[in-house]
Structures are given as C-alpha cells and as structure tokens.
Amino acid sequence: MPVPPATATRVDATCANTVGDARIIQAAIDASKEGGEVVVKGPCLINKTITLRGRRTYRGDAKAGTVIKQADGANLPAMLASESWVTNQPYSSDPVRIERLTLDGNRDHNTGTVGLMLRSWDTRVYDVDILGAPADGIRISNPSKNGTTLRNTMVNSVISDVYIERSGGSGLKVVDPGNAVSDWTFQRSWIGFSGASAIETDNAAGWTFSDLHVYATPKNAIDAHRCFGTSIRNNYIEDFGTKATGKQTYYGIRCDLQGEAGTTISNNRIHKFGADTLTQSKKTHQAPTGQQADTRFVYLALDAVNYGAGHATVTGNTILGHGTRQETGLLFRRGKGDRMSIVSTGNLVDDVGIPRTTGPGVRLTSGY
C-alpha cells in the first residue's frame, strides 16, 4: 500500500535568552515536517545562522515577544537564511512563510550580517521587524553563500507590512547577476535610517513596489535596475541623499528600462525635506564660498534603456524641492538603447531648479 504523506505538525522552539538558543531553534526546524509550523518563543539570542527549510511557516507569538537577537561578536553572514543559500545548492529553496517576529542584528557589536537572507520562491514575509542589521536588512540573493548561482528562478513572492530600520547596508537589496529574481511584491512597509540606499535591486523585472514609506536615506530611496513590466506606485519618499558628498548623483526613484515591456511609475510623493546637503543659493544658483556644488539630486529618473525600445508611464507623481540647480525633478535619457517612449502627464514638480531634463532619442507624450 502507498505510504500516506506525513501529517503537518506544530513545533515550538522556546528560547532561554542564551547563545544556546540557536541550537534550540534549529533543532525545532529540523524536527518539523513539510507543511508544518515552527513557533519561536522569545527572547532569543543566537550565535549561528538559522537555516530555514522549505514548505514551512515560521512565526513568533508577537513582534514584541519573539525577538531574535544576534549575540555580541557573532558576526554571522546572516541571521535567518534559506536552506539553498546555506547549502550552496544551484536551485532555489521551496516556499517559506515568516511572520510576527523581530530580528535584532545588534549592529553596534557585529559586522557583515544580513538580517533575513532569502533564496526561496513563492515566499511570504509578513509583520516582521528587522532592526540594526549590520549589512542589509533583507537580501534576496541569486548567489548562494559560496557564490553558486541559480539554474532556476526565484519568483512569485510577497514581502508586506515589515519595518526595517538602521541597517548598515540597504534596507532591501536584490542581488541577481542573472535573471532569476523577478515578479516579487514589496508593499505596505517602512524603511528608515539605512546605511546606504533604502531599496537597491539588480533586477526589478515584474516587481511591484507599492505603499512604502522611505525616510532618512543616505543614498537612493528606490534604485531599481532592469525594469521590465515594473510598477512603482503610491510610495512616500520623505528624504534621500541625506549624506551626499562629492561629485555624485542621488535619486528619489530611479529605473533603467529593459526593452519591449512597459513600466509604470505613478502617484509617488518624493521630497527632500533636509536641505543641509544642498549648497547652492536659491536666489543665485551659485555655491556659497568654500562649498562644493557638484552633488546632484534627481527626484525621478528613467536614465537608460538597456536594449531595444523602452516604454514607461510616469503619471500623478508629486515632487517638491528647494529651488536649487542641484535638483532635477524628472530626468529621461535613452542610454545605449534604440529609443525611449515615455508618457509623462499630471506630475506636480514644484520648487525644483531643473523641472525636467529630456535627452536625445526620447519620445515624450501626454498619452491619449
């Protein structure tokens, strides 16, 4: 007779707030069955990376109660990580669901640690706080721990209702030298006081970024590469380029386009409330004596087409600046692609020294 599938079970991992908690949590995971639930009861202190096996739900009792903290000097590559990343498999892990817990990276006493390392498809992350990760808060990575890249894809996932603050790197980072990490949704979340950009993604194909509040960002708020059928909508960017230095450009929203698919950027509110990194005089458009004026701030940019013809709609966005020539509201450039076709209409661009820059090879219309 055929053997019936194992019955899904719940396994509790009750921490003692000592470094032995890593062993307790991992033992519970290893004892769980596919389709089961691993419930972590905190507070927890870990000195080893927790390996997340696929086809399981991982949850805490509540964010305030289940706090998983990295021990002083552990310097883990990641606090929680998908199994295929840890074991260096060439295929993405099976789906996981992670919810109702807090990860404390203990950034003041560690280096190089990613809070949550994901390398699984059809995954869900809900109602999670990630605080003080020494590296990125969440990293979605095509390469594994030793650099093995995927032979398949890692798609169809949702990250929602998360709070990421004080990451040493980016709040959310996608590392994808191939074309594996596409068709994700990142929504209804907050990213603040990152060490680099709030969102930085090598591959934004099929992604939706919506209803995000991004604030106190030293570099770029949303830096999305290889946009292909991408949607960036209804986000509140409170500030960007807060630690701008030298001859560099910082972006509120930035996309470079892949050819032959449409991208939509709509109904975003993009501000730069902090004017301390602006050196030019609003009246004269000149830098005060002794200050540099070679830093640039672009609120919304489609700055390249990577191949073929790029298509995008940019509508209903609100941009508010400080009236200096360092600031550009909208920037459209073709790059090395054949052409760029942009519908740009209904955008409010106020008090920005250069409201819009349009390069050669860009077809700009108001639509139909």
Assess contact for 167 and 133: CB atoms under 8 A.
yes
209-244 tens-digit pLDDT: 999 999 999 999 999 999 999 999 999 999 999 999
Task: With CA atoms as reference, report the closest residue to 235 among 275, 208, 205.
Answer: 208
Mean pLDDT across 71-77: 98
The mean per-residue pLDDT over the stretch 54-74 comes to: 97
- Look at residues 286, 352, 291 and name the one whose alpha carbon lies nearest to residue 317: 352
Average pLDDT value for residue range 271-291:
59
Q: Rounded to an integer, what distance in angstroms lies between the CA atom of residue 291 and that of residue 280?
A: 9
Give the pLDDT confidence of 43-57 residue by residue, as tens digits.
Answer: 999 999 999 999 999
User: CA 341: distance to chain centroid?
Assistant: 27
Calculate the alpha carbon distances from 272 to 112, 240, 292, 321, 329 in Å.
29, 6, 19, 6, 11
DSSP code per residue over 282-345: TTT--PPTT-----EEEEEEEEEE-SSEEEEEEES-EEE--S-TTEEEEEE--TTSSEEEEEEE
| Helix, strand, or coil (residue 101) | strand
- The mean pLDDT value for 281-293 works out to 44
What residue spans define the domains of the chain? 10-197, 204-368
Whole-angstrom distance, CA of residue 142 vs CA of residue 150: 6
Q: What average pLDDT score do residues 90-96 get? A: 98
Task: Kindly state which CATH superfamily the domain 10-197 is placed in.
Answer: Single-stranded right-handed beta-helix, Pectin lyase-like (2.160.20.10)
State how far the Cα of 68 lies from the Cα of 131, in Å rounded to an integer. Answer: 10
Q: What is the spatial distance between Cα 120 and Cα 26, in angstroms, rounded to a whole number?
A: 18
CB 201 within 8 A of CB 174: yes
Q: Bridge partners of 53?
A: none
The H-or-E segment that residue 86 falls in is: helix 83-87
pLDDT tens sequence across 124-142: 999 999 999 999 999 999 9
